[in-house]
Amino acid sequence: MYNNKAVAQWVDEMAKLTKPDNIVWVDGSEEEKERLTEQALATGELIELNQEKLPGCYLHRTDVSDVARVEDRTFICTRNKDDAGPTNNWMDPAATYEKLSKLFDGSMKGRTMYVIPYIMGPVGSPFSKVGVELTDSIYVVLNMRIMTRMGKVAMDQLGDSSEFVKGLHSKGTLDPNERYICHFPEDNTIWSINSGYGGNVLLSKKCFALRIASFMGRQQGWMAEHMMIVGIEDPEGHVDYIAGAFPSACGKTNLAMLVPPEVFKKKGYKVWTVGDDIAWLRVGPDGRLWAVNPEAGFFGVAPGTNYKSNPNAMETVKKNTIFTNVVLTPEGTVWWEGMGEPPKSGIDWKGNPWTPESGEKGAHPNSRFTAPASQCPSISPEWENPQGVPLTAIIFGGRRARVAPLVYQSFDWNHGVYVGATMASETTAAAIGQVGVVRRDPMAMLPFCGYNMADYFAYWLEMGKRIPNPPKIFNVNWFRTDSEGNFIWPGFGENLRALLWIIDRCKGQGKAIETPIGYVPEEGAIDLEGLDISQDVMKELLNIDKDVWADEVNSQSEFLEKFGDRLPQEIRRQNEALKKRFGF
Protein backbone atom coordinates (compact mmCIF):
# COMPACT_ATOMS: atom_id res chain seq x y z
CA MET A 1 0.00 0.00 0.00
CA TYR A 2 2.84 2.39 0.83
CA ASN A 3 6.12 2.64 -1.01
CA ASN A 4 8.47 4.61 1.23
CA LYS A 5 11.70 2.57 1.14
CA ALA A 6 13.05 3.75 4.53
CA VAL A 7 9.79 2.86 6.31
CA ALA A 8 9.48 -0.51 4.53
CA GLN A 9 13.06 -1.45 5.39
CA TRP A 10 12.65 -0.50 9.07
CA VAL A 11 9.32 -2.36 9.39
CA ASP A 12 10.96 -5.43 7.86
CA GLU A 13 13.87 -5.22 10.33
CA MET A 14 11.54 -4.86 13.36
CA ALA A 15 9.29 -7.68 12.13
CA LYS A 16 12.33 -10.00 11.96
CA LEU A 17 13.00 -9.12 15.59
CA THR A 18 9.46 -9.32 17.02
CA LYS A 19 8.19 -12.16 14.72
CA PRO A 20 4.47 -11.27 14.39
CA ASP A 21 2.10 -13.71 12.66
CA ASN A 22 0.68 -10.88 10.52
CA ILE A 23 1.55 -7.32 9.57
CA VAL A 24 -1.27 -4.81 8.99
CA TRP A 25 -0.49 -1.38 7.50
CA VAL A 26 -3.03 1.03 8.94
CA ASP A 27 -4.81 3.36 6.46
CA GLY A 28 -6.98 5.45 8.82
CA SER A 29 -10.29 4.64 7.07
CA GLU A 30 -13.71 4.31 8.74
CA GLU A 31 -14.01 0.75 7.47
CA GLU A 32 -10.73 -0.14 9.20
CA LYS A 33 -11.91 1.48 12.46
CA GLU A 34 -15.08 -0.66 12.41
CA ARG A 35 -13.14 -3.83 11.66
CA LEU A 36 -10.58 -3.24 14.45
CA THR A 37 -13.31 -2.26 16.94
CA GLU A 38 -15.16 -5.52 16.19
CA GLN A 39 -11.94 -7.48 16.76
CA ALA A 40 -11.22 -5.68 20.05
CA LEU A 41 -14.78 -6.37 21.26
CA ALA A 42 -14.39 -10.05 20.36
CA THR A 43 -11.15 -10.39 22.38
CA GLY A 44 -12.52 -8.36 25.32
CA GLU A 45 -9.88 -5.65 24.82
CA LEU A 46 -12.78 -3.20 24.51
CA ILE A 47 -16.21 -3.30 26.17
CA GLU A 48 -19.09 -1.72 24.26
CA LEU A 49 -20.92 1.02 26.17
CA ASN A 50 -24.59 2.01 25.77
CA GLN A 51 -24.62 3.18 22.14
CA GLU A 52 -27.79 5.23 22.58
CA LYS A 53 -26.39 7.21 25.51
CA LEU A 54 -22.71 7.17 24.49
CA PRO A 55 -22.54 6.58 20.71
CA GLY A 56 -19.17 5.32 19.49
CA CYS A 57 -17.86 4.98 23.07
CA TYR A 58 -15.99 2.01 24.55
CA LEU A 59 -14.34 1.00 27.83
CA HIS A 60 -10.88 -0.50 28.24
CA ARG A 61 -9.22 -1.90 31.36
CA THR A 62 -5.46 -2.11 31.69
CA ASP A 63 -3.56 -4.68 33.71
CA VAL A 64 -3.68 -3.70 37.42
CA SER A 65 0.14 -3.31 37.44
CA ASP A 66 0.00 -0.98 34.46
CA VAL A 67 -2.03 2.14 35.22
CA ALA A 68 0.22 5.20 34.81
CA ARG A 69 3.41 6.59 33.32
CA VAL A 70 6.40 4.95 34.98
CA GLU A 71 9.02 7.66 35.43
CA ASP A 72 11.52 5.27 37.04
CA ARG A 73 11.30 2.98 33.96
CA THR A 74 11.58 5.87 31.46
CA PHE A 75 15.05 6.51 30.03
CA ILE A 76 16.84 9.03 27.83
CA CYS A 77 19.54 7.14 25.94
CA THR A 78 22.14 9.63 24.71
CA ARG A 79 25.69 8.58 23.89
CA ASN A 80 27.04 10.99 26.51
CA LYS A 81 25.45 10.62 29.95
CA ASP A 82 25.79 14.36 30.72
CA ASP A 83 23.61 15.15 27.70
CA ALA A 84 20.68 13.48 29.50
CA GLY A 85 21.37 15.52 32.64
CA PRO A 86 20.72 15.01 36.35
CA THR A 87 16.90 15.01 36.16
CA ASN A 88 16.57 12.18 33.60
CA ASN A 89 17.22 8.46 33.96
CA TRP A 90 20.00 7.55 31.53
CA MET A 91 21.04 4.33 29.81
CA ASP A 92 23.77 3.81 27.24
CA PRO A 93 22.14 3.53 23.77
CA ALA A 94 24.16 0.54 22.51
CA ALA A 95 23.65 -1.42 25.75
CA THR A 96 19.94 -0.50 25.77
CA TYR A 97 19.32 -1.67 22.20
CA GLU A 98 21.03 -4.94 23.09
CA LYS A 99 19.09 -5.40 26.34
CA LEU A 100 15.70 -4.50 24.82
CA SER A 101 16.27 -6.54 21.66
CA LYS A 102 16.26 -9.65 23.88
CA LEU A 103 12.88 -8.58 25.34
CA PHE A 104 11.45 -7.74 21.90
CA ASP A 105 12.76 -10.97 20.36
CA GLY A 106 9.62 -12.95 19.42
CA SER A 107 7.41 -10.65 21.54
CA MET A 108 4.75 -10.49 18.79
CA LYS A 109 4.56 -14.25 18.09
CA GLY A 110 0.90 -15.23 17.74
CA ARG A 111 -0.03 -11.52 17.37
CA THR A 112 -0.49 -8.95 14.63
CA MET A 113 1.92 -6.07 14.14
CA TYR A 114 0.10 -2.85 13.24
CA VAL A 115 2.07 -0.24 11.31
CA ILE A 116 0.71 3.21 12.24
CA PRO A 117 2.02 6.15 10.21
CA TYR A 118 0.88 9.42 11.84
CA ILE A 119 1.35 13.18 11.69
CA MET A 120 2.00 15.39 14.70
CA GLY A 121 0.54 18.77 13.81
CA PRO A 122 -2.00 19.85 11.18
CA VAL A 123 -1.76 18.20 7.74
CA GLY A 124 0.64 20.14 5.50
CA SER A 125 1.83 22.46 8.28
CA PRO A 126 5.50 23.58 8.32
CA PHE A 127 5.38 22.69 12.05
CA SER A 128 4.32 19.08 11.42
CA LYS A 129 6.41 15.94 11.77
CA VAL A 130 5.71 12.32 10.80
CA GLY A 131 6.13 9.30 13.04
CA VAL A 132 5.53 5.59 12.52
CA GLU A 133 4.55 3.40 15.48
CA LEU A 134 4.66 -0.39 15.34
CA THR A 135 2.46 -2.05 17.96
CA ASP A 136 0.75 -5.34 18.78
CA SER A 137 -2.16 -3.58 20.54
CA ILE A 138 -5.50 -2.71 18.88
CA TYR A 139 -6.13 -0.38 21.86
CA VAL A 140 -3.08 1.62 20.74
CA VAL A 141 -4.26 1.75 17.11
CA LEU A 142 -7.73 3.01 18.08
CA ASN A 143 -6.30 5.59 20.50
CA MET A 144 -3.71 6.80 17.98
CA ARG A 145 -6.57 7.25 15.53
CA ILE A 146 -8.10 9.77 17.97
CA MET A 147 -4.85 11.40 19.15
CA THR A 148 -3.13 11.91 15.76
CA ARG A 149 -3.83 12.32 12.04
CA MET A 150 -2.98 8.78 11.00
CA GLY A 151 -2.87 6.39 8.07
CA LYS A 152 -2.60 7.25 4.39
CA VAL A 153 -2.56 11.00 5.07
CA ALA A 154 0.71 10.60 7.00
CA MET A 155 2.43 8.50 4.33
CA ASP A 156 1.34 11.02 1.71
CA GLN A 157 2.93 13.79 3.78
CA LEU A 158 6.13 11.76 4.32
CA GLY A 159 6.50 11.03 0.58
CA ASP A 160 10.00 9.64 -0.18
CA SER A 161 11.59 11.20 2.91
CA SER A 162 13.45 9.06 5.46
CA GLU A 163 12.85 11.72 8.16
CA PHE A 164 10.39 10.08 10.52
CA VAL A 165 10.34 9.15 14.21
CA LYS A 166 10.54 5.37 14.69
CA GLY A 167 8.41 3.98 17.51
CA LEU A 168 8.38 0.30 18.47
CA HIS A 169 5.90 -0.96 21.07
CA SER A 170 4.98 -4.42 22.28
CA LYS A 171 2.77 -5.36 25.22
CA GLY A 172 5.25 -8.21 25.67
CA THR A 173 4.36 -10.08 28.87
CA LEU A 174 3.38 -6.86 30.78
CA ASP A 175 6.06 -7.78 33.35
CA PRO A 176 6.49 -4.58 35.44
CA ASN A 177 10.09 -5.52 36.30
CA GLU A 178 10.98 -5.64 32.60
CA ARG A 179 8.99 -2.54 31.62
CA TYR A 180 11.04 0.03 29.69
CA ILE A 181 10.14 3.23 27.88
CA CYS A 182 13.37 4.25 26.16
CA HIS A 183 14.09 7.30 24.01
CA PHE A 184 17.05 7.58 21.65
CA PRO A 185 16.95 11.28 20.72
CA GLU A 186 20.07 11.06 18.54
CA ASP A 187 18.34 8.33 16.46
CA ASN A 188 14.75 9.71 16.47
CA THR A 189 13.73 6.38 18.00
CA ILE A 190 11.44 5.24 20.86
CA TRP A 191 11.18 1.67 22.19
CA SER A 192 8.47 0.73 24.71
CA ILE A 193 7.94 -2.78 26.05
CA ASN A 194 5.80 -4.58 28.67
CA SER A 195 3.18 -1.85 29.09
CA GLY A 196 -0.32 -1.36 27.70
CA TYR A 197 -1.08 1.95 29.47
CA GLY A 198 -1.65 4.95 27.16
CA GLY A 199 1.03 7.27 28.55
CA ASN A 200 3.69 4.59 27.95
CA VAL A 201 2.42 3.21 24.64
CA LEU A 202 0.81 6.05 22.66
CA LEU A 203 4.29 6.95 21.49
CA SER A 204 3.08 10.10 19.72
CA LYS A 205 2.29 11.76 23.02
CA LYS A 206 4.88 12.56 25.70
CA CYS A 207 7.50 10.28 24.07
CA PHE A 208 7.57 11.95 20.63
CA ALA A 209 5.75 15.27 21.11
CA LEU A 210 7.89 16.28 24.12
CA ARG A 211 10.97 14.10 24.78
CA ILE A 212 12.08 13.54 21.18
CA ALA A 213 10.62 16.82 19.90
CA SER A 214 12.35 18.96 22.58
CA PHE A 215 15.70 17.53 21.44
CA MET A 216 14.74 17.91 17.77
CA GLY A 217 13.45 21.45 18.29
CA ARG A 218 16.72 22.57 19.88
CA GLN A 219 18.62 21.31 16.83
CA GLN A 220 16.17 22.89 14.37
CA GLY A 221 15.40 26.20 16.11
CA TRP A 222 11.90 25.61 17.55
CA MET A 223 10.47 24.53 20.93
CA ALA A 224 8.32 21.62 22.14
CA GLU A 225 6.57 22.51 25.39
CA HIS A 226 4.17 20.91 27.88
CA MET A 227 1.63 23.71 27.42
CA MET A 228 -2.05 24.22 26.81
CA ILE A 229 -3.04 26.92 24.27
CA VAL A 230 -6.15 29.04 24.76
CA GLY A 231 -7.65 31.98 22.83
CA ILE A 232 -9.47 34.82 24.65
CA GLU A 233 -11.85 36.74 22.38
CA ASP A 234 -12.90 40.22 23.51
CA PRO A 235 -16.30 41.83 22.74
CA GLU A 236 -14.80 43.49 19.61
CA GLY A 237 -13.87 40.07 18.20
CA HIS A 238 -10.08 40.35 18.74
CA VAL A 239 -8.46 37.11 19.97
CA ASP A 240 -5.33 36.92 22.13
CA TYR A 241 -3.64 33.53 22.47
CA ILE A 242 -1.96 32.36 25.66
CA ALA A 243 0.16 29.24 26.21
CA GLY A 244 0.42 27.87 29.73
CA ALA A 245 2.57 25.27 31.49
CA PHE A 246 1.30 23.62 34.67
CA PRO A 247 2.40 20.48 36.53
CA SER A 248 -0.26 17.76 36.86
CA ALA A 249 -3.26 18.47 39.14
CA CYS A 250 -3.03 22.22 38.58
CA GLY A 251 -6.03 22.59 36.25
CA LYS A 252 -4.30 22.87 32.84
CA THR A 253 -7.10 21.14 30.89
CA ASN A 254 -9.75 23.10 32.81
CA LEU A 255 -8.01 26.35 31.85
CA ALA A 256 -7.72 25.28 28.20
CA MET A 257 -11.51 24.68 28.11
CA LEU A 258 -12.50 27.55 30.41
CA VAL A 259 -16.10 28.79 30.35
CA PRO A 260 -16.33 32.57 30.97
CA PRO A 261 -18.34 33.73 34.03
CA GLU A 262 -21.86 34.92 33.13
CA VAL A 263 -20.98 38.61 33.57
CA PHE A 264 -18.22 38.33 30.90
CA LYS A 265 -20.30 36.09 28.63
CA LYS A 266 -22.98 38.78 28.50
CA LYS A 267 -20.39 41.35 27.47
CA GLY A 268 -19.34 39.14 24.55
CA TYR A 269 -16.16 37.45 25.81
CA LYS A 270 -15.46 33.98 24.41
CA VAL A 271 -12.77 31.41 25.21
CA TRP A 272 -11.37 29.12 22.50
CA THR A 273 -9.47 25.85 23.07
CA VAL A 274 -6.49 25.34 20.73
CA GLY A 275 -4.82 22.57 22.77
CA ASP A 276 -4.93 21.10 26.27
CA ASP A 277 -1.47 19.59 26.75
CA ILE A 278 1.32 20.19 24.22
CA ALA A 279 2.47 23.20 22.19
CA TRP A 280 5.11 23.37 19.47
CA LEU A 281 6.45 26.92 19.15
CA ARG A 282 8.44 28.70 16.47
CA VAL A 283 9.28 32.25 15.47
CA GLY A 284 6.97 33.50 12.72
CA PRO A 285 7.90 35.82 9.83
CA ASP A 286 6.35 38.69 11.84
CA GLY A 287 8.83 38.18 14.69
CA ARG A 288 6.21 36.81 17.09
CA LEU A 289 6.20 33.35 18.65
CA TRP A 290 3.60 31.10 16.99
CA ALA A 291 2.13 27.95 18.55
CA VAL A 292 0.48 24.82 17.21
CA ASN A 293 -1.14 21.92 19.07
CA PRO A 294 0.51 18.84 17.50
CA GLU A 295 -2.24 16.49 18.74
CA ALA A 296 -5.69 15.72 17.33
CA GLY A 297 -7.30 14.52 20.57
CA PHE A 298 -7.40 14.80 24.34
CA PHE A 299 -5.99 12.10 26.63
CA GLY A 300 -7.50 13.53 29.81
CA VAL A 301 -7.59 12.47 33.46
CA ALA A 302 -11.20 11.50 34.27
CA PRO A 303 -11.46 11.83 38.11
CA GLY A 304 -12.44 15.34 39.13
CA THR A 305 -13.81 16.16 35.66
CA ASN A 306 -17.44 17.26 36.00
CA TYR A 307 -19.90 19.90 34.80
CA LYS A 308 -18.57 22.44 37.33
CA SER A 309 -14.83 21.93 36.80
CA ASN A 310 -14.94 21.37 33.03
CA PRO A 311 -18.31 21.39 31.23
CA ASN A 312 -16.61 21.45 27.80
CA ALA A 313 -14.69 18.24 28.54
CA MET A 314 -17.93 16.57 29.72
CA GLU A 315 -19.63 17.50 26.44
CA THR A 316 -16.59 16.35 24.42
CA VAL A 317 -16.64 12.78 25.82
CA LYS A 318 -20.31 12.07 25.01
CA LYS A 319 -19.41 10.25 21.77
CA ASN A 320 -16.50 8.54 19.96
CA THR A 321 -14.49 8.29 23.18
CA ILE A 322 -12.40 5.48 24.67
CA PHE A 323 -12.59 5.40 28.49
CA THR A 324 -9.82 3.62 30.39
CA ASN A 325 -10.08 2.25 33.96
CA VAL A 326 -13.39 3.93 34.96
CA VAL A 327 -16.56 2.45 36.54
CA LEU A 328 -19.01 0.64 34.25
CA THR A 329 -22.59 1.35 35.37
CA PRO A 330 -25.53 -1.08 35.06
CA GLU A 331 -26.91 1.17 32.25
CA GLY A 332 -23.75 0.67 30.21
CA THR A 333 -22.46 4.20 30.89
CA VAL A 334 -19.38 5.34 32.84
CA TRP A 335 -18.68 7.01 36.19
CA TRP A 336 -15.64 8.21 38.11
CA GLU A 337 -14.92 9.93 41.41
CA GLY A 338 -15.75 13.63 41.32
CA MET A 339 -18.13 13.24 38.36
CA GLY A 340 -21.32 13.59 40.39
CA GLU A 341 -23.88 11.30 42.02
CA PRO A 342 -22.42 7.73 42.02
CA PRO A 343 -24.43 4.79 40.69
CA LYS A 344 -25.83 2.41 43.35
CA SER A 345 -23.60 -0.31 41.95
CA GLY A 346 -21.25 -0.98 39.06
CA ILE A 347 -18.12 -2.78 37.90
CA ASP A 348 -14.90 -1.10 39.06
CA TRP A 349 -11.75 -0.45 37.04
CA LYS A 350 -10.38 -3.89 37.96
CA GLY A 351 -13.52 -5.61 36.63
CA ASN A 352 -14.96 -6.41 40.09
CA PRO A 353 -18.47 -5.66 41.43
CA TRP A 354 -18.45 -2.27 43.19
CA THR A 355 -20.75 -0.06 45.27
CA PRO A 356 -20.10 3.41 46.78
CA GLU A 357 -19.87 1.62 50.17
CA SER A 358 -17.06 -0.69 48.96
CA GLY A 359 -14.49 1.55 50.61
CA GLU A 360 -12.36 1.49 47.44
CA LYS A 361 -12.25 3.88 44.52
CA GLY A 362 -14.40 2.69 41.61
CA ALA A 363 -12.25 4.40 38.96
CA HIS A 364 -8.46 4.43 39.09
CA PRO A 365 -7.16 7.91 40.19
CA ASN A 366 -5.34 8.08 36.82
CA SER A 367 -8.26 6.76 34.74
CA ARG A 368 -8.54 8.43 31.34
CA PHE A 369 -10.67 9.47 28.41
CA THR A 370 -9.39 9.66 24.82
CA ALA A 371 -11.62 11.97 22.79
CA PRO A 372 -11.35 13.82 19.44
CA ALA A 373 -10.48 17.51 19.93
CA SER A 374 -12.85 18.39 17.07
CA GLN A 375 -15.80 17.45 19.34
CA CYS A 376 -14.95 20.03 22.01
CA PRO A 377 -17.65 22.76 22.09
CA SER A 378 -14.97 25.42 22.67
CA ILE A 379 -12.54 24.19 19.99
CA SER A 380 -10.92 27.16 18.25
CA PRO A 381 -11.66 27.79 14.54
CA GLU A 382 -7.85 28.20 14.27
CA TRP A 383 -6.84 24.94 15.98
CA GLU A 384 -5.84 23.30 12.69
CA ASN A 385 -4.39 26.44 11.08
CA PRO A 386 -1.12 25.19 9.52
CA GLN A 387 0.62 28.42 10.60
CA GLY A 388 -0.51 28.06 14.22
CA VAL A 389 -1.61 31.00 16.38
CA PRO A 390 0.49 33.98 17.59
CA LEU A 391 1.17 34.11 21.35
CA THR A 392 0.47 37.24 23.36
CA ALA A 393 1.60 35.68 26.66
CA ILE A 394 3.11 32.58 28.26
CA ILE A 395 2.02 31.62 31.77
CA PHE A 396 3.62 29.30 34.28
CA GLY A 397 1.63 28.01 37.23
CA GLY A 398 1.77 25.71 40.22
CA ARG A 399 -0.02 24.82 43.42
CA ARG A 400 1.36 27.08 46.19
CA ALA A 401 -0.48 27.67 49.47
CA ARG A 402 1.42 30.76 50.69
CA VAL A 403 4.23 31.60 48.26
CA ALA A 404 3.09 32.86 44.85
CA PRO A 405 0.42 35.55 44.45
CA LEU A 406 -2.65 34.97 42.25
CA VAL A 407 -0.83 36.45 39.24
CA TYR A 408 2.36 38.36 38.53
CA GLN A 409 4.38 39.43 35.49
CA SER A 410 8.09 38.82 35.02
CA PHE A 411 10.34 41.85 34.42
CA ASP A 412 11.52 40.59 31.01
CA TRP A 413 12.14 37.38 29.01
CA ASN A 414 15.23 36.26 30.98
CA HIS A 415 13.50 36.83 34.31
CA GLY A 416 10.50 34.91 32.93
CA VAL A 417 12.77 31.98 32.06
CA TYR A 418 14.03 32.02 35.66
CA VAL A 419 10.42 32.03 36.94
CA GLY A 420 9.69 28.99 34.74
CA ALA A 421 12.94 27.24 35.68
CA THR A 422 12.14 27.43 39.41
CA MET A 423 8.37 26.79 39.31
CA ALA A 424 7.00 24.27 41.77
CA SER A 425 3.91 22.62 43.22
CA GLU A 426 3.18 21.53 46.76
CA THR A 427 1.49 18.38 47.95
CA THR A 428 -1.00 19.16 50.69
CA ALA A 429 -0.34 17.37 53.96
CA ALA A 430 -3.09 15.82 56.09
CA ALA A 431 -2.43 18.22 58.99
CA ILE A 432 -4.48 21.39 58.60
CA GLY A 433 -2.53 24.41 57.43
CA GLN A 434 0.63 22.36 56.94
CA VAL A 435 2.13 21.98 53.55
CA GLY A 436 3.82 18.86 52.26
CA VAL A 437 6.62 18.41 49.80
CA VAL A 438 7.65 21.08 47.29
CA ARG A 439 8.28 19.49 43.91
CA ARG A 440 10.19 21.69 41.47
CA ASP A 441 9.02 21.08 37.93
CA PRO A 442 10.70 23.55 35.55
CA MET A 443 8.28 24.66 32.81
CA ALA A 444 6.28 21.51 33.82
CA MET A 445 8.88 19.64 31.71
CA LEU A 446 10.83 17.76 34.39
CA PRO A 447 9.62 14.27 33.29
CA PHE A 448 9.46 15.23 29.59
CA CYS A 449 12.65 17.04 28.62
CA GLY A 450 14.64 14.90 26.17
CA TYR A 451 18.05 16.30 27.15
CA ASN A 452 19.96 18.02 29.97
CA MET A 453 17.63 20.51 31.65
CA ALA A 454 20.45 23.03 32.18
CA ASP A 455 20.90 23.08 28.38
CA TYR A 456 17.12 23.42 28.09
CA PHE A 457 17.24 26.60 30.23
CA ALA A 458 20.09 27.87 28.04
CA TYR A 459 17.98 27.18 24.93
CA TRP A 460 15.05 29.17 26.38
CA LEU A 461 17.44 32.08 27.01
CA GLU A 462 18.82 31.76 23.46
CA MET A 463 15.30 31.70 21.99
CA GLY A 464 14.63 35.01 23.76
CA LYS A 465 17.31 36.60 21.55
CA ARG A 466 15.74 35.08 18.41
CA ILE A 467 12.20 36.40 18.98
CA PRO A 468 11.97 40.09 17.99
CA ASN A 469 8.47 40.42 19.52
CA PRO A 470 8.36 37.86 22.33
CA PRO A 471 5.25 37.06 24.37
CA LYS A 472 5.39 38.42 27.92
CA ILE A 473 5.83 35.82 30.69
CA PHE A 474 3.57 35.55 33.77
CA ASN A 475 3.04 33.25 36.73
CA VAL A 476 -0.37 32.28 38.15
CA ASN A 477 -1.43 30.46 41.30
CA TRP A 478 -5.10 29.50 41.73
CA PHE A 479 -4.33 27.62 44.97
CA ARG A 480 -3.63 30.26 47.68
CA THR A 481 -5.10 29.15 51.03
CA ASP A 482 -6.12 30.82 54.27
CA SER A 483 -4.85 29.85 57.74
CA GLU A 484 -7.36 26.95 57.84
CA GLY A 485 -6.13 25.54 54.54
CA ASN A 486 -9.18 26.62 52.47
CA PHE A 487 -8.71 27.92 48.93
CA ILE A 488 -9.45 31.66 48.84
CA TRP A 489 -9.75 32.12 45.06
CA PRO A 490 -12.83 30.50 43.43
CA GLY A 491 -10.87 29.26 40.37
CA PHE A 492 -12.42 27.54 37.31
CA GLY A 493 -14.17 30.10 35.05
CA GLU A 494 -13.22 32.96 37.37
CA ASN A 495 -9.58 32.47 36.30
CA LEU A 496 -10.52 34.46 33.20
CA ARG A 497 -10.25 37.60 35.38
CA ALA A 498 -6.51 37.02 35.87
CA LEU A 499 -6.08 36.24 32.16
CA LEU A 500 -7.74 39.54 31.21
CA TRP A 501 -5.27 41.44 33.43
CA ILE A 502 -2.45 39.52 31.70
CA ILE A 503 -3.74 40.57 28.28
CA ASP A 504 -4.09 44.19 29.47
CA ARG A 505 -0.47 44.15 30.63
CA CYS A 506 0.67 42.85 27.23
CA LYS A 507 -1.10 45.82 25.63
CA GLY A 508 0.62 48.30 27.92
CA GLN A 509 -2.48 48.74 30.06
CA GLY A 510 -3.47 47.06 33.34
CA LYS A 511 -2.20 48.72 36.50
CA ALA A 512 0.58 47.02 38.44
CA ILE A 513 3.02 47.62 41.24
CA GLU A 514 6.66 46.57 41.13
CA THR A 515 7.68 43.99 43.75
CA PRO A 516 10.87 41.91 44.25
CA ILE A 517 9.31 39.01 42.29
CA GLY A 518 7.79 40.98 39.39
CA TYR A 519 4.76 43.16 38.62
CA VAL A 520 1.67 42.40 40.71
CA PRO A 521 -1.84 43.81 39.99
CA GLU A 522 -2.59 47.07 41.76
CA GLU A 523 -5.68 47.17 43.96
CA GLY A 524 -8.71 47.30 41.65
CA ALA A 525 -6.71 46.22 38.56
CA ILE A 526 -8.45 42.81 38.37
CA ASP A 527 -12.09 43.10 37.27
CA LEU A 528 -14.17 41.62 40.11
CA GLU A 529 -17.60 42.55 38.71
CA GLY A 530 -20.18 39.93 39.71
CA LEU A 531 -17.75 38.15 42.06
CA ASP A 532 -18.39 38.17 45.79
CA ILE A 533 -14.86 38.59 47.09
CA SER A 534 -13.64 41.24 49.57
CA GLN A 535 -10.70 43.62 49.09
CA ASP A 536 -9.09 41.98 52.14
CA VAL A 537 -9.14 38.60 50.40
CA MET A 538 -7.75 40.19 47.21
CA LYS A 539 -4.94 41.75 49.29
CA GLU A 540 -4.15 38.32 50.72
CA LEU A 541 -4.22 36.76 47.22
CA LEU A 542 -1.69 39.30 45.97
CA ASN A 543 0.42 39.52 49.12
CA ILE A 544 4.14 38.68 48.99
CA ASP A 545 5.33 37.51 52.40
CA LYS A 546 9.05 38.20 52.77
CA ASP A 547 9.58 35.44 55.40
CA VAL A 548 7.90 32.82 53.21
CA TRP A 549 9.98 34.00 50.24
CA ALA A 550 13.22 33.70 52.25
CA ASP A 551 12.64 29.93 52.43
CA GLU A 552 11.46 29.83 48.82
CA VAL A 553 14.59 31.56 47.46
CA ASN A 554 16.84 29.18 49.44
CA SER A 555 14.89 26.23 48.06
CA GLN A 556 15.25 27.58 44.49
CA SER A 557 19.03 28.03 44.95
CA GLU A 558 19.34 24.45 46.25
CA PHE A 559 17.42 23.06 43.29
CA LEU A 560 19.58 24.93 40.78
CA GLU A 561 22.78 23.56 42.40
CA LYS A 562 22.04 20.08 41.04
CA PHE A 563 22.84 21.31 37.51
CA GLY A 564 26.42 22.21 38.45
CA ASP A 565 28.62 24.01 35.93
CA ARG A 566 26.18 23.40 33.12
CA LEU A 567 23.63 25.84 34.61
CA PRO A 568 23.61 29.03 32.49
CA GLN A 569 25.29 32.02 34.20
CA GLU A 570 22.17 34.09 33.47
CA ILE A 571 20.05 31.79 35.67
CA ARG A 572 22.57 32.23 38.52
CA ARG A 573 22.51 35.99 37.93
CA GLN A 574 18.69 36.02 38.12
CA ASN A 575 18.85 34.07 41.38
CA GLU A 576 21.29 36.61 42.88
CA ALA A 577 19.20 39.53 41.61
CA LEU A 578 16.08 38.10 43.30
CA LYS A 579 17.94 37.83 46.64
CA LYS A 580 19.17 41.40 46.26
CA ARG A 581 15.68 42.76 45.54
CA PHE A 582 14.43 41.15 48.74
CA GLY A 583 17.52 42.27 50.66
CA PHE A 584 18.47 38.68 51.61
How many Cα atoms are found within 13 Å in the side-chain-facing hemisphere of 437?
3
Known binding residues: 69, 197-199, 206, 226, 248-254, 277, 366-368, 399, 492-495
DSSP 205: I
Task: Please give the Cα distance from 87 to 449 (Å, whole number).
Answer: 9
Residue 376 is a catalytic residue: no
Distances (CA, A) of 2 to 9, 28, 122, 151, 156: 12, 13, 21, 10, 9
Task: Please give the Cα distance from 175 to 168 (Å, whole number).
Answer: 17
Quote the crossing angle between the two packed helices 5-18 and 93-104, to the nearest 10°: 60
323 neighbors 368 (Cβ within 8 angstroms): yes
47 neighbors 349 (Cβ within 8 angstroms): no
Three-state secondary structure readout of 208-254: HHHHHHHHHHHHHCCEEECCEEEEEECCCCCEEEEEEECCCCCCHHH
DSSP 344: S
- 105 by DSSP, 3-state: which? coil
Through-space distance between the first and last CA atoms of the chain, rounded to whole angstroms:
67
501 neighbors 525 (Cβ within 8 angstroms): yes
Task: Please give the Cα distance from 309 to 11 (Å, whole number).
Answer: 44
Residue 174's CB is within 10 A of a number of other CB atoms, namely 17
389's CB contacts (< 8 A; 6+ apart) are 229, 231, 241, 274, 290, 291, 292, 380, 382
- H helix and E strand count, the chain: 17, 30
68 neighbors 53 (Cβ within 8 angstroms): no
Known binding residues for Mn(2+): 206, 226, 277
364's CB contacts (< 8 A; 6+ apart) are 67, 325, 326, 349
From the candidates 77, 182, 207, 250, give the one annotated as an active-site residue: 250
Distances (CA, A) of 366 to 211, 303, 359, 369, 549: 21, 7, 18, 10, 33
Catalytic residues: 250
